Amino acid sequence: MVSLEKMKPLFTVHAGEYLVGSHIEARYPRWNVWLPSKDTGVDLLVTNGRNTNTVSLQVKFSKDFTPTHRTILLQRKLVAGGWWTLQEAKIKDSHADFWVFALPSFTEHKTSFIITPRELLRRLRSIHGKARKRIDSYLWITKSGRC
């Protein structure tokens, strides 16, 4: 008899990976989405239909933190607001071609995807200043499609 405590999950995908993969498959039916079998810092691989071109994705997920303590005028302009705690070293050492931030909206019933290239760390440093180990990043999506 095998103890359940020692069993490793056969297959796990977190919510953000599922949302990104599902969106890609629905929007781009000729593309293929692949899940790596071990954790290498790349969450999804996306290839063209012939599997000759590959892009790697690091996926981050946040629940909707739309500010309810702000004015109604501001709240009406927002689709969703997310919060991520990022580590500079992980961004710097990332092998992913793109980082995708998945942000489902509780009020709009849709998911927004913020896609950043490898220059994510440079952009965060330009916003937050000097290098730091931990970066708290808040991204808001407006109804006009801006982040």
Q: What is the pLDDT of residue 8?
A: 62
Sign of CA dihedral 136, 97, 61, 80: positive
Q: What is the mean pLDDT of residues 66-82?
A: 82
Average pLDDT taken over every residue of the chain: 88
Q: Is the pLDDT of residue 72 over 80?
A: no
- pTM confidence score: 0.85
Q: What is the mean pLDDT of residues 103-119?
A: 88
Q: What is the mean pLDDT of residues 65-79?
A: 80
Sign of CA dihedral 83, 87, 92, 97: negative
> What's the CATH fold of domain 13-142?
Trna Endonuclease; Chain: A, domain 1 (3.40.1350)
Q: What is the mean pLDDT of residues 18-41?
A: 94
DSSP 4-32: GGGPPPS----HHHHHHHHHHHHH-TTSE
Q: What is the pLDDT of residue 10?
A: 61
Q: What is the pLDDT of residue 37?
A: 85
